[in-house]
Structure formats: structure tokens, C-alpha cells
Amino acid sequence: MDSTRDVIITEVALRDGSHAVGHQFTVDQVTKVAKALDEANVPYIEVTHGDGLGGSSLQYGLSLTNEMELIEAAASSVKRAKISVLLLPGIGTMPELKEAARLGAKMARVATHVTEADVAPQHIALAKDLGLETVGFLMMSHMAPTAKLVEQAKLMESYGADTVYVVDSAGALLPHEVKERIRALKNSLSVQIGFHGHNNLSLAMANSLAAIEEGATRIDGSIRCLGAGAGNTQTEVLVTVLEKLGINTGIDIYKMMDIAEDLVAPILEKPQEITKDSLVLGYAGVYSSFLLHAQRAAKRFGIDSRDVLIELGKQNVVGGQEDMIVDVAAEISRKKLGVRV
């Protein structure tokens, strides 16, 4: 691994971690964590609803606190770090992106399904017009062959993205699959390449290192593994491993360890771990944020949540189709009871 190259970390616990806490972040929590991360020299901190700008809804989960308040609180708490926001076209809107920029956001990550980059040009263009660093975020990257991923990444680049990410939303990719994808993007694009992993198969760290080995210079992490499913690449572990490898992140590892123990751990209702359900997310290739929705639906219909997740995987359900989770659970329940409709 090339130890001469720097790696830039984006901390996603205050966005991806929103899924793990049912979107219940408070202004006080976000303020304290963002301030501490800034003092640890974390360069980018992402803050929105788990499903991005405009995500607070009955379908995706209602936020306790308006995300604009959280963005403003984070932006006013940092001195060096840049606040990032996620936007999924069709959920987030252009006025919301403008408002986020007004409140202090400095980076916009425009996220689409891996085969649907063509819904993003207007949002990327607006982000550029607002003076934001702009990232193309290709979610569920395991669902497309490498050639298709390259095609979609090139579209993101052509729209003006400064960076394009391979996003393992389901935590389903294996290290050799990450290497193949990152290598192909590195050979085909002139912009920076990033990787966002989930730990459902206990491979987030291995996959992040594989991505770096193939030339990715932007890597996401979630402190204390606070993220959807089994969480993301654990940031305090990642920066420590990279320091051992001689790869510079500029982040203070002692401070990150302290933040994880003292500030983030108390936010978690229970430790992030690979449970049977999160393991099935990775196995079946299901969007990590579906975890709590599937568990609630399974409980409602008295069935095994793993059966719901496996069926969602068979149906290739993707982010934005959360309403299908209840339908799938209801159908499994009917079959179990032998009810004909």
C-alpha cells in the first residue's frame, strides 16, 4: 500500500448514524460531537437526516429536530472542519440545498442509485453554483457490474462532481470486488475517487483499505461505528490503522478515541454490532437503512425479520422504496397463515 498518499476522511455518524438512533439527534448532541470532531482535526463532518435533506417523513422516519437546525448548529460549532450534506434527488429539493448552504454547509454529496446518475445533473450544477465542493455518490454499488458503474461515474464527473464515490450501501461488497471497482474508476476518471462502506459482513475496514490500495483518496467513517445496519468503517479505528500504515489523515487519534468513548457511546441505545439482521443485510444485498423498518414490520406481523430482508433482496428493492417493506412483510405473513387473497 502506498504510504506516501494522504487520505481525506468524511465523518458520517451525524448523518448515517441518524438511522441507528431513529433520527432522534438533538442540537446539543450534534453541537458537542461536531465541536469535538473539529478539535480532533476531522476535515469533513456530514449532518442531515439519515436519508439526506428532506428525509424527515413518515416513509423514511421523522426527525426529532429539524435538520436545518442541526446543520446550523454544526456549522457554528466548527472552526476548521467543513460541514457536508447529503441530497437524494426526489427526496431533497433545490431550495433545501440552498438553505443548507446559507446555514454553513460547504460540501454537497448528491446521491443516486448506482444506475440512475442521470437524475443528478441539476442538483450537482446547483451545488457548484453555490460554491460547494460537490460529490457524486453512487449508492448500492454492488448492484451494477463494473462497466455500468464506470459509465455512471463518468456521468457524475461530466455534471461537475469533484469526487465520485463507490457506495456499498448494503455492506455487500467483498474486498476483491471493491478493488475491481475502484481500479476501474481510477483508470477512467480524472476526479478524486471515494469509498463509503457498511460493516454488515464485517468487511468495512478491509474494504476501505482495499479502496485506498487501489487509489481512493476519500474515505467515509462513522465514529463508534454509528451508522445504518452494523454501522460504517469505524473512524477512530480507521485513522489508527492508517497511521500504522504511514498514511496521513491529519486526525488526532487520541482525541478520536476519547470522542468515541465519552460523547458518542452514550448516544447509542445499544452498541453497534453485527446482529443476525444486519448480517442478512450484507448477505442479501439490502439497503442498510432498511434495518429498523424491517424489524418493525416483522414485529407488527409476527414474522422473522430475516425473511423480510431476504425477500427484499430477491426483489432488488432499493433506497426510496421503504413503503414496500410493509407490503413484503404482510405478504409473508399471509403465506405463513395460508391466507389466500
pLDDT tens digits, 181-218: 999 999 999 999 999 999 999 999 999 999 999 999 99
Instruction: Assess if residue 281 is contained within a domain.
Output: no
Mean pLDDT of the chain: 95
Q: What is the DSSP string of 110-132?
A: EEEETT-GGG-HHHHHHHHHTT-
> Annotated binding residues, as ranges?
15-16, 169, 196, 198, 287
Instruction: Assess if residue 125 is contained within a domain.
Output: yes
Residue finishing a domain among 211, 236, 267: 267
Instruction: Assess if residue 76 is contained within a domain.
Output: yes
Is residue 304 domain-shared with residue 177, that is, in the same domain? Answer: no
Is residue 214 domain-shared with residue 317, that is, in the same domain? Answer: no
- What's the mean pLDDT in 42-71? 95
123 catalytically annotated: no
Is residue 38 domain-shared with residue 81, that is, in the same domain? Answer: yes
Domain CATH for 307: 1.10.8.60
Residue finishing a domain among 233, 267, 301: 267
Is residue 211 domain-shared with residue 262, that is, in the same domain? Answer: yes
Is residue 256 domain-shared with residue 293, that is, in the same domain? Answer: no
Is residue 322 domain-shared with residue 256, that is, in the same domain? Answer: no
Instruction: Assess if residue 284 is contained within a domain.
Output: no
Mean pLDDT check: name the lowest of 14-23, 112-121, 316-325. 316-325
Is residue 81 domain-shared with residue 117, that is, in the same domain? Answer: yes
Is residue 227 domain-shared with residue 322, that is, in the same domain? Answer: no
Is residue 194 domain-shared with residue 293, that is, in the same domain? Answer: no
Cβ pair 212, 183 in contact under 8 A: no
Is residue 321 domain-shared with residue 180, that is, in the same domain? Answer: no
- What's the mean pLDDT in 132-143? 97
Instruction: Assess if residue 2 is contained within a domain.
Output: no
> Annotated binding residues for substrate, as ranges?
15-16, 169, 196, 287
Model confidence pLDDT, tens digit, residues 225-248? 999 999 999 999 999 999 999 999
Q: To which H or E segment does residue 85 belong? A: strand 82-87
pLDDT in the model for residue 330: 93
pLDDT in the model for residue 24: 96
- What's the mean pLDDT in 35-53? 97
Instruction: Assess if residue 101 is contained within a domain.
Output: yes
Domain CATH for 36: 3.20.20.70
Point out the catalytic residue in the list 19, 23, 49, 142: 19
Q: Is 86 helix (H, G, I), strand (E, B) or coil?
A: strand
Model confidence pLDDT, tens digit, residues 91-101? 999 999 999 99
Domain count within the chain = 2
Instruction: Assess if residue 274 is contained within a domain.
Output: no
Cβ pair 153, 118 in contact under 8 A: no
Which ranges in 163-319 belong to alpha helices (H)?
175-188, 204-213, 235-244, 253-259, 276-284, 290-301, 305-314
Instruction: Assess if residue 171 is contained within a domain.
Output: yes
> Annotated binding residues for Mn(2+), as ranges?
16, 196, 198
Is residue 176 domain-shared with residue 125, that is, in the same domain? Answer: yes
Domain range for 315 is 289-337
Is residue 251 domain-shared with residue 293, that is, in the same domain? Answer: no
pLDDT confidence tier of residue 2, bands split at 50, 70 and 90: low
pLDDT confidence tier of residue 339, bands split at 50, 70 and 90: low
